[in-house]
Each structure stands twice: as structure tokens, then as C-alpha cells.
């Protein structure tokens, strides 16, 4: 798109802003006034009119969603040139600066950003020894005080100051930055290193800032430094939407910017294209008494749009909820308003949590932008904590959190009590409890498996791609996903297919054939979802287009003599009636979804110890044996008896039958240890129950001999066996019996090692097969729909794939249902009802589905983006990425009601909006009336921000706003919000009967 086309879309004020000279500019843009369009037009104008190279333009905003929208619009305007323009959030920009100059900033290369939950847990830990009551509330206050100190240079209150040093020392020790330190460190780097600053000034010849009212003092200083020399800065702000004072944002930055850059008069964008006149007028009444940049500024609503704003009073929450669900149903059924054009906005998450259960009950699809970011999702919390421990195994805070989440509160408290009783560390207490025989076997097994799983990943991380590492975390977690395929993997038969390497080549086209157009369409969409646009529909007439390097997948018979490429006769693989032809296609897809990582277990040493007793801290070694394995074959052996110079316990002697006489002339432990060390070299060391016994004995011997601990990477096969066969017999004896292996002279070290090698090969084979069987669950909705059309729902695998896919197929998040209905001219509601009837006849199938149900699958998709980095860097980058994601970034483009806090709603728009909680001390918040040490703003300033929050909520709507208040909420009598008085002239107020 050329600039003249963009220019035609602009009104006079927008055009004035876009075509301004290269000098400091301030645009005050209210909601719905086209600020993003104006920003994009300015970027295009600077490229085409001022000839600024696209890669020297820097645009900064506050959410990934906003940055993504700008990139999409710019792509439409500039095509390939758009990718060169640097658009990011402030925090992402700072992260990239510090990554590039980490040494100058005094940071480790793999530093990471800690999320809000980690910060709060740390503060609560630090406060635990200082106060007894209201620890969580006090931690929030101290977090705000830290923010004011770092961002506004305000002195810390005495109590907060006593915590601050300890807090920052912890972050430094574990190579972490919080959100504020990320900004502060960037500012310090630019201030202290003029050469770095000059480089960034040169590389950013144009600076554009969106949502400038949300900047804190440090962010403003960064922007000021970047633009001070060339002064080509374009700022878009709306002081009426400044709602982030609690995280350091200061609308006074707008006035400071005007003073610093000598701007006498902003350009005001005054036409709201989104909202009807009544909505805009009511919203302006809310903020008219606040401190504004332009006290007399006037926003004009869309005169062409009918609009309505009403307030309803209810006697209690149940009456309110019944009204809300009925209103949403009426809008959708009677006015044909899509669910995606509706939003429920509330002041606190607890409002949404209560409402969500009623929406589920009424089968109203919804999605919640809940929490600060992705890190508050239960599954993501576990993955983050695992990654923190893999990155930094000594991080006790992360270990404590993960024990509580993974092993449960009771075990967590048991470890804490043991720690306090014995005056030891949490880590030592955890290890000790895994060995104590007075603890139940089940709990010991849980703890030791948990410890071993983490240790295996810490040891093997350098062998893994990041995607594989995340997969290992999910596999080993004791309660991590609701995967239907994972729970039914044992029922899925082994599936063989060909051409693995061939299909991986991006130049290889894939052709698919079925004579039924409906099945052909579904198969084509399925494969395109997996492989992209290199998938094509095959017909008898199109065989000439097929190249010899391609692959054809024949779901129905087709003469193959005209095919010059390799082909799979999938229709022939259904004769055993275990699966339909679409299920065969899915099994083929599963096999090809597996990523080829570097081999982990192609060169290793597997070993075993026989000892004088069972205690790894005191026993002596009487035999060491090991084999070296390369590419699955034993190529070398090591075995020696050992004289530890101590008595052999009778129980141990009965197991391995080694007597004192047998070892009388054997080498000493020191000699044997040196021999084994030479044999092992730098190879990966593998043992069964290694973390519980063998590795611990080796480490103790090294300490006894004043030698360094063996630095070899380690792996414990017991952890893998427990993962594959939970709650079953996983000793070497038990596994040998499972696999029907000849155990030889069991409980002599060399025989144990040889049988363990055979067991390990079997375990790896089962692991690889399971990986294939559980992959691709996000695609099963295609198979579910296709098998319904084929009437193939009786075979074992067809049933499993139907169960895995039907929930998503029935949900607003389906990627195939609407496309199929549109393609074949079917009413989607009719299709949906037919699918629900079929689903109701299938056992154990729930038709309720939330986008969280495939959250693990979406995490795996995200993980792939980090595969090209070394794994330590990928972990640090992923943790930072998750910490910096905004709530609204989790919203999907689906037909579902959005449930949002005021802060999460900012920047979004909907046709209909319901605002819940219009009671005093909810809106405005109870905290706005309080004076406290940590937040030194006056009550007046706090109340003004609350008004701006309501302004933001109201202006999300295009056509209708409903405000609700109740007389009794959360068990307390309520008063109406005083803000309703300020807008009573422009709204209808009703008491619901």
C-alpha cells in the first residue's frame, strides 16, 4: 500500500499529526480515535517522505498484543519492508539491550526475568521472620515501595529498606532481574556507556511511543536519551487512560515531555469512531473533574451508531448473575451478536471466578484474561519452576514452590517441619525424607522420583533441544495435563511408516487423495495445519503435476502407474478394523511430527556397585562393574572386587554372596575408584537408583579421598522406569521379569549391569513409541469430524481419537468446524447440534471445553521458537518471555465472551460490555481511600485513577454498556458507587425487578 492510500483514510487532525515536520510531537488520542492508524501512517510517511531506513525506526508500546497489531497493519502497508521496522514493548527492548551488553551491565549471559509470583514468594519468605500477620498484603505494599524507590527515586520506608538489600542479594545470586530492575539496568547502561547510547541513537533515527501516559520515570528517561539528539520523536498519549500508577506509571510524564522537548500545543484527536454518542458522553462525565492535559478537550462519539448505557441495581449476586446470563443469551440468540463481541469487565479477579462457573453451567463460551500473565496458569507455573531449577539447581525458593505444587501441601509441610526440627536446609530435609524408612514407601517413592526427575534433566539439558526439555518436564510431572492420548497410549498399536527424512525436507510436496470431497477437504486442512502450504489435493487429472521428489498419501484407491513419486497406500492399512483411513492418516502424521534431536544415549557407561550395606553414607564398596555402550552395543567391560576394609553386613552378603575372603586380596576402594574413574572418562554415567544410592556412594568416596566429585553427566534409569510404569515394580528384578530377560547371576555387579543395559534399551524403545502415540493431540478434532462423516467410531483407535478431538470440535476454539460448514454450505448450528448428539452417545465424553484444555500443546508450539538457542540461553529467554507476557495476550480470536479486569480490557473493543461491581469500595477500590507508607499518592490522586479505570471500561463498548451493582456482595451490604452520581445525567438507572 502506498502512502497516498493511507492518507485517504485519515481525518484532518490525524493527517496533521502524520505530516508534521521531524520534530518532537505530542498527539493526545482518546479511545477509538484511530491512534494505531495514525502511528502506522507516520511510520510509512517517515520512510517514504523523509527517506528514513525502516530498520532505523523504533516503535515502543506496552503489550505484545499492541505490538503484534502494529506489525500486522504495517505489513499490510509496507509488505516486506515492514519486518525491518523495530516494534516492541518497552520491557522487550530493555531485555534485548541487556542481552547484547550483559557484561557491561554486570549481568550473566543467561540472566532471566522473574515473574510476579516469584517476587511475591520471595518477599513473603523474607517477611516470614519479621512479621506474623497479613504477610501477603504487606508483601504487596513492600513491592510497591520497591517500585517507587527504583522508578521514582523515592526513599524507602524504614521497614521496607530492611528487606530491600536482602531481596536484591537474592536476585543477584540467582542471576535474576525483576520488572523494575530490567528498566533501571538499561537506563544505567545507557547513562554510563556513551558509546552504547550513541550506537542506539544512530540505530533509532525515529522514535515513536504508544500509550505514553503509561510510562514510568525510568521509561521516560530511556526514551529521552534515545531521542534527545535527533529529536525526531512522535508520542501518542491519553491522560484520561492513565491507569498504571501502581506499577510506576506517571501521567505527569506527558507534561514533562512537553517541557523537555518544548512542545507548546499537542494535537488532539477528537473523533471516537468506536463508540456511540451516549457512551462517549457518559464516559467523559466520569473524568471531567480529574487533572487533565486539556481540561476543555472534547471527544465526539460516533453519531451514526445507536448507543445505550444503563445501570441496574440488584438485591444480590444471584439475581445479578441470572440477569447477565440471560442478557448474553438474548444478545446472541435474538440480536445475533457474536459472543466475541461481548465482554464482562470487573475490578478484581474474584468477580470473574464467581461468574465463570455460571457461564459454564449455561453453556456460554468464555475466555478469561486472568492473572498478570501466562505465569499464573497452573501448568505454566510448574513448567516455570522446573526450568528455574534446571537453570539454577541451588534456587531453594523455586524448589520449595515446586515441591508444594508437585508433591502437595502435606509433603511440603512435612519437609518444612523436618527442616525446622533438625535446623537444616529445605533441600537437605527433602533428600533426608526420601531415605527415611519411617516415612511411608509411597511418599518416599514420590519424593525420590521427583528429585531424580529434576536431576536427570539438569544433567541431560545440554543434550536436549528446548522443545525436548519441555516435553521431558511435562512427561515427568506427576499431574500435568488432561491429555486423552497420554491416558490411552497403551491402547494404541505400534505404527510403522516410511520416508521420515524425505518428508522433513521443506521442498517436498505432499499430495492427498480421497474420492469423497468432504474427507479430502478435512485431510487437506489437517495436513496444511501441520505442514503448511506444501500440501495439495490429488486427483486423477492432477497426477502430472506430481514431481518425483514428492509424496502421495492415498486414502482411497487410485491408479498408481501415473505417479512418479513415492506413495503410501493408506486405504490398505485399515483391514484389521482397528482404525479408519483418517485415523491411519493421523498415525502417519504423528510419526512425522517427531523432531530429530541429537542422540542422547549413543555413547555412555552404565555401572553398578555391590556394597557392605544399604546406607550410602556409610557403606563400603565390595564390587564395581561397568560396560561402555556405543550406538546400543557393549564395546568394553570393567569389573573388579574391592576391599573396603570393613565388615560386610549379613543382609548384604545374602544378596550378592561376596564374602570377606573373596575380597581379601582385592584392590582398595581408592585404587578401585581410580580404575573406575579412568574407565568412565568423560562419558555419560548411567545407574539404576543412581540418585538414591550409586551416585551418592561415588560422591562420598571422592570426598573421602579429597578428590573432586566426578564431573560426568549422570542419568538414573529408575526415574525413567517409574515415569513409564507408575506404581509398578521397577527394580532391576521387576523390569527383567517384565521384559522376560535372562538376569544371569543376579546381584553380582557385572551381571546387573548387562541386564540393566538390555532393560535400558527396552525402556528407550517404549519411550520413543509413547512419544509418537501422544503427539499431535491438537489435530484430533479433524479426525473426530472426519470419522463422524465416515461413520467410523467403533474401532478402538477411532474411539480414542474421537474422545481426544470432540471437545475442541464442539468448542468456539475449533479450527475446522466453521471452515467445513462454510465449504459445504451447511448451517453451523445444525452441524454443531448433530455433533453434540453423537457425542452424547459416546461414553466419558464431556462437551465442555476451555482453551486451557490444550494449553500444554500451545506451550509446546511456543517452545519450538527457542530451539535454535543453546539450551541455557533458551531457558533464560523463555522465562523472560513468559514473565513479560500481558494478560490480554492470552486471549484467542474465537467466538467467546471475554472476561476481563479493567486493566486487561485496555486497548480492546467490543460491541456490548457489561461492567460488574459498581459498588463503593469496589469501584472505586477500598484501597483508594487509604493512606499508607508504600503508596504516597493522595486519596484524591488515587480516586482520579479509579475514575480513569471506569472511563477505560465504558469506552470499550461500541453500542451498549450495562453497569451492575448489588445490595449484598460477597456476604456484605454495599453502597452504590459514588461515580454513578457523576454520570447519572447521561445514563438510565433502573432497579431490577
Q: Which residue has the cell 514420590?
A: 446
Residue 844 pLDDT > 50, yes or no? no
> Domain 3-106+181-269 falls in which CATH fold?
Rossmann fold (3.40.50)
Question: What integer pLDDT is reported at residue 85 of this predicted model?
Answer: 92
Given this model, what pLDDT does residue 869 score? 86
The answer to whether residue 544 scores a pLDDT higher than 80 is no
pLDDT recorded at residue 837: 86
Domains 376-480 and 603-772 share a fold: no
What is the grid cell recorded at 242? 492513565
Torsion of CA 160, 161, 163, 165, to 10 degrees: 150
588-597, 599-608, 979-988: least confidently modelled range: 588-597
CA distance 400 to 385: 10
Question: Taking 80 as the threshold, does the pLDDT of residue 376 lie above it?
Answer: no
Mean pLDDT of the chain: 87
> What Rg do the C-alpha atoms of the chain give, in angstroms?
32
Is the model's pLDDT at 958 over the cut of 60? Answer: yes
Check whether 35 is labelled as a binding-site residue. yes
pTM for this prediction: 0.81
**Strand order through the sheet with 910-916:** 366-368, 897-901, 342-346, 910-916, 957-966, 308-314, 988-991
- Mean pLDDT is lowest, of 807-811, 900-904, 910-914, for 807-811
* Statement: 603-772 belongs to CATH 3.20.20.70: no
- What Å distances lie between residue 848 and 172, 362, 852, CA to CA? 45, 11, 11
Between helices 466-476 and 871-883, what is the axis angle to 10°?
A: 70
Q: Is 361 annotated as a binding residue?
A: no
Residue pLDDT, tens place only, 134-184: 888 888 888 888 888 898 888 888 888 889 999 999 999 999 999 999 999
The reply, when asked if residue 61 is annotated as ligand binding, is no
State how far the alpha carbon of 40 is from the alpha carbons of 17, 59, 62, in Å: 12, 10, 16
Report the pLDDT averaged over residues 950-968. 93
pLDDT (0 to 100) of residue 51: 92
Q: Answer yes or no: are the C-beta atoms of 204 and 231 closer than 8 Å.
A: no
Does position 498 have pLDDT exceeding 70, yes or no?
A: no
> Is 870 marked as a binding-site residue?
no
The contacts of residue 966 (CB under 8 Å, 6+ apart) are 313, 314, 315, 316, 317, 319, 320, 919, 974
Q: What is the pLDDT of residue 849?
A: 45
Give per-residue pLDDT as tens, 52-92.
Answer: 999 999 999 988 888 888 888 888 888 878 889 999 999 99
Residue 658 CA: distances (Å) to CA of 113, 611, 661, 839: 54, 9, 8, 63
The DSSP secondary structure of 82-136, one letter per residue, reads GGGSEEEEHHHHHHHHHHHTTTTTT--TT-EEPPHHHHHHHHHHHHHTT-SSSHH
Stretch 666-677: mean pLDDT: 95
What does the pLDDT read at residue 479? 53
The model's confidence at residue 845, banded by pLDDT at 50, 70 and 90, is very low
User: CA-to-CA distance for 928 and 981, rounded, in angstroms?
Assistant: 18
Q: Using one digit for the tens of pLDDT, what is the confidence trace for 297-321?
A: 788 887 777 788 999 999 988 899 9
The runs of H, that is alpha helices, within 313-460 are 317-334, 349-361, 378-391, 396-407, 409-422, 426-433, 441-460
Q: Which helix (H) or strand (E) holds 634?
A: strand 633-641
* pLDDT surpassing 60 at residue 4: no
CATH architecture, domain 300-373+886-991: 3-Layer(aba) Sandwich (3.40)
* Residue 543 is labelled as binding a ligand: no
Residue 1 scores a pLDDT above 50: no
pLDDT digit string, tens, across residues 936-957:
778 888 899 999 999 999 999 9
Class of domain 376-480 as given by CATH: mainly alpha
The 10s digit of each residue's pLDDT in 869-911 is 888 889 998 888 888 877 656 666 678 899 999 988 988 999 9
Rounded to an integer, what distance in angstroms lies between the CA atom of residue 876 and that of residue 96?
Answer: 12
User: 34: annotated binding-site residue?
Assistant: yes
Grid coordinates of 512:
492427498
Closest CA to 792 of 828, 861, 843, 838: 838
**Whole-number pLDDT of residue 496:** 67
Q: Which stretch of 103-107, 557-561, 754-758 has the lowest confidence by average pLDDT?
A: 557-561
907 a known binding residue? no
Residue 517, pLDDT score:
92
Does the pLDDT value for residue 482 go beyond 70? no
Q: Is 31 annotated as a binding residue?
A: yes
More confident residue, 497 or 550: 550
Query: pLDDT grade, residue 848 (50/70/90)?
Result: very low
| Pairwise pLDDT comparison (500 vs 540), residue with the higher score | 540
pLDDT of residue 884: 82
Q: Give the pLDDT of residue 847.
A: 39
Task: Give mean pLDDT, residues 244-248.
Answer: 77
Residue 933 banded pLDDT, cuts 50, 70, 90: low
- For 392-435, write each residue's pLDDT tens digit: 999 999 999 999 988 888 999 999 999 988 899 999 999 989 88
**Would you kindly state where each structural domain of the chain is located, as residue ranges?**
3-106+181-269, 112-174, 300-373+886-991, 376-480, 489-594+776-846, 603-772
Over residues 369-373, the mean pLDDT reads 54
Amino acid at each position: 500500500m502506498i502512502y497516498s492510500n493511507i492518507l485517504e483514510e485519515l481525518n484532518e487532525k490525524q493527517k496533521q499529526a502524520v505530516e508534521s515536520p521531524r520534530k518532537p510531537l505530542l498527539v493526545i488520542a482518546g479511545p477509538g480515535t484511530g491512534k494505531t492508524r495514525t502511528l502506522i501512517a507516520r511510520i510509512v510517511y517517515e520512510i517514504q517522505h523523509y527517506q528514513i531506513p525502516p530498520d532505523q525506526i523504533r516503535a515502543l508500546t506496552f503489550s505484545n498484543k499492541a505490538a503484534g497489531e502494529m506489525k500486522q497493519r504495517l505489513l499490510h502497508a509496507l509488505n516486506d519492508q515492514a519486518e525491518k521496522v523495530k516494534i516492541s514493548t518497552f520491557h522487550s527492548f530493555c531485555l534485548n539491550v541487556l542481552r547484547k551488553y550483559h557484561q557491561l551491565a554486570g549481568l550473566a549471559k543467561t540472566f532471566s526475568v522473574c515473574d510476579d509470583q516469584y517476587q511475591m514468594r520471595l518477599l513473603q519468605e523474607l517477611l516470614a521472620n519479621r512479621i506474623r500477620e497479613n504477610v501477603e498484603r504487606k508483601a504487596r505494599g513492600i513491592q510497591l515501595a520497591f517500585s517507587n524507590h527504583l522508578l521514582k527515586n523515592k526513599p524507602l520506608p524504614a521497614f521496607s529498606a530492611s528487606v530491600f538489600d536482602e531481596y536484591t542479594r537474592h536476585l543477584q545470586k540467582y542471576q535474576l532481574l525483576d520488572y523494575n530492575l530490567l528498566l533501571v539496568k538499561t537506563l544505567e547502561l545507557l547513562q554510563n556507556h556513551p558509546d552504547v547510547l550513541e550506537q542506539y541513537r544512530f540505530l533509532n533515527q525515529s522514535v515513536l511511543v504508544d500509550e505514553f501516559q503509561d510510562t514510568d520515570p525510568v521509561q521516560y528517561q530511556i526514551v529521552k536519551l534515545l531521542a534527545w539528539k535527533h529529536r525526531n520523536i512522535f508520542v501518542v498519549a491519553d491522560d484520561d487512560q492513565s491507569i498504571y500508577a501502581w506499577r510506576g506509571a506517571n501521567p505527569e510524564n506527558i507534561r514533562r515531555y512537553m517541557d523537555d522537548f518544548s512542545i507548546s500545543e499537542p494535537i488532539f484527536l477528537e473523533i471516537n469512531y468506536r463508540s456511540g454518542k451516549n457512551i462517549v458522553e457518559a464516559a467523559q462525565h466520569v473524568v471531567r473533574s480529574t487533572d487533565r492535559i486539556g481540561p476543555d478537550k472534547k471527544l465526539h462519539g460516533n453519531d451514526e451508531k445507536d448507543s445505550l448505557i444503563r445501570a441496574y441495581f440488584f438485591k444480590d449476586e444471584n439475581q445479578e448473575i441470572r440477569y447477565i446470563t440471560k442478557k448474553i443469551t438474548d444478545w446472541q440468540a435474538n440480536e445475533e451478536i457474536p459472543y466475541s463481541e461481548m465482554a464482562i469487565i470487573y475490578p478484581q479477579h474474584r468477580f470473574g471466578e464467581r461468574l465463570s462457573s455460571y457461564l459454564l453451567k449455561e453453556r456460554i463460551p468464555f475466555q478469561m484474561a486472568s492473572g498478570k500473565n501466562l505465569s499464573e496458569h497452573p501448568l505454566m507455573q510448574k513448567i516455570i519452576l522446573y526450568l528455574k531449577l534446571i537453570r539454577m539447581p541451588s534456587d531453594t525458593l523455586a524448589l520449595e514452590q515446586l515441591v508444594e505444587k508437585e508433591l502437595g501441601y502435606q509433603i511440603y509441610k512435612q519437609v518444612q517441619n523436618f527442616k525446622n526440627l533438625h535446623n537444616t536446609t529445605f533441600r537437605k530435609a527433602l533428600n533426608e525424607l526420601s531415605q527415611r524408612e519411617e516415612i511411608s514407601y509411597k511418599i518416599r517413592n514420590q519424593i525420590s522420583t521427583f528429585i531424580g526427575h529434576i536431576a536427570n534433566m539438569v544433567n541431560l539439558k545440554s543434550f536436549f533441544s528446548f522443545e525436548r526439555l519441555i516435553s521431558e518436564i511435562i512427561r515427568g510431572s506427576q499431574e500435568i495435563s488432561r491429555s486423552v492420548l497420554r491416558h490411552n497410549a497403551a491402547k494404541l498399536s505400534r505404527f510403522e511408516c516410511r520416508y521420515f527424512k524425505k518428508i522433513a525436507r521443506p521442498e517436498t510436496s505432499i499430495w492427498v487423495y480421497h474420492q469423497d470431497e468432504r474427507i479430502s477437504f478435512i485431510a487437506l486442512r489437517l495436513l496444511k495445519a501441520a505442514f503448511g502450504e506444501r500440501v495439495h489435493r490429488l486427483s486423477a487429472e492432477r497426477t502430472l503435476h506430481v514431481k518425483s521428489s514428492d509424496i502421495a498419501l492415498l486414502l482411497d484407491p487410485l491408479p498408481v502407474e501415473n505417479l512418479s513419486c513415492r506413495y503410501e497406500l493408506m486405504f490398505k492399512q485399515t483391514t484389521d478394523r482397528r482404525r479408519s483411513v483418517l485415523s491411519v492418516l493421523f498415525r502417519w502424521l504423528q510419526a512425522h511430527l517427531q523432531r530429530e534431536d541429537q542422540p542422547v544415549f549413543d555413547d555412555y557407561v552404565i555401572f553398578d556397585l555391590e556394597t557392605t550395606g544399604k546406607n550410602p553414607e556409610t557403606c563400603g564398596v565390595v564390587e564395581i562393574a561397568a560396560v561402555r555402550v556405543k550406538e546400543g552395543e557393549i564395546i568394553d567391560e570393567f569389573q573388579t572386587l574391592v576391599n573396603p576394609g570393613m565388615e560386610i553386613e549379613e543382609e548384604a552378603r545374602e544378596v550378592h554372596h561376596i564374602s570377606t575372603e573373596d575380597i581379601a586380596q582385592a584392590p582398595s576402594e581408592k585404587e578401585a575408584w581410580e580404575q573406575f574413574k579412568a574407565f568412565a572418562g568423560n562419558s555419560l554415567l548411567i545407574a539404576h537408583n543412581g540418585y538414591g544410592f550409586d551416585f551418592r556412594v561415588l560422591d562420598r568416596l571422592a570426598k573421602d579421598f579429597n578428590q573432586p566429585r566426578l564431573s560426568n553427566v549422570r542419568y538414573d534409569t529408575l526415574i525413567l522406569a517409574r515415569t513409564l510404569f507408575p506404581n509398578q515394580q521397577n527394580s532391576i528384578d521387576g523390569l527383567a521379569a517384565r521384559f522376560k530377560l535372562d538376569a544371569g547371576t543376579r546381584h553380582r555387579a557385572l551381571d546387573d549391569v548387562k541386564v540393566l543395559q538390555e532393560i535400558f534399551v527396552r525402556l528407550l524403545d517404549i519411550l520413543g513409541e509413547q512419544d509418537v502415540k501422544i503427539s499431535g493431540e491438537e489435530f484430533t478434532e479433524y479426525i473426530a469430524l472426519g470419522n463422524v462423516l465416515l461413520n467410523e467410531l467403533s474401532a478402538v483407535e477411532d474411539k480414542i481419537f474421537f474422545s481426544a478431538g470432540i471437545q475442541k470440535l464442539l468448542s468456539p476454539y475449533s479450527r475446522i468446524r466453521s471452515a467445513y460448514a462454510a465449504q459445504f454450505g451447511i448451517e453451523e448450528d445444525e452441524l454443531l447440534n448433530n455433533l453434540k448428539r453423537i457425542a452424547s452417545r459416546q461414553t466419558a465424553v464431556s462437551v465442555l471445553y476451555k482453551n486451557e484444555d490444550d494449553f500444554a500443546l500451545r506451550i509446546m508450539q511456543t517452545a519450538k521458537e527457542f530451539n535454535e538457542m543453546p539450551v541455557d540461553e533458551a531457558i533464560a529467554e523463555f522465562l523472560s518471555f513468559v514473565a513479560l507476557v500481558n494478560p490480554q495476550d492470552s486471549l484467542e480470536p474465537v467466538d467467546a465472551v471475554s472476561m476481563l479486569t479493567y486493566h486487561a480490557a485496555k486497548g480492546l473493543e467490543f460491541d456490548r460490555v457489561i461492567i460488574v461491581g459498581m459498588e463503593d469500595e469496589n469501584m472505586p477500590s477500598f484501597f483508594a481511600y487509604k493512606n499508607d507508607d508504600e503508596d504516597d499518592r493522595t486519596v484524591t490522586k488515587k480516586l482520579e485513577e479509579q475514575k480513569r479505570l471506569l472511563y477505560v471500561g465504558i469506552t470499550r463498548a461500541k453500542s451498549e454498556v450495562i453497569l451492575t451493582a448489588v445490595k449484598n456482595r460477597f456476604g456484605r451490604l454495599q453502597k452504590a458507587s459514588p461515580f454513578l452520581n457523576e454520570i447519572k445525567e447521561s445514563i438510565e438507572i433502573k432497579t431490577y425487578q
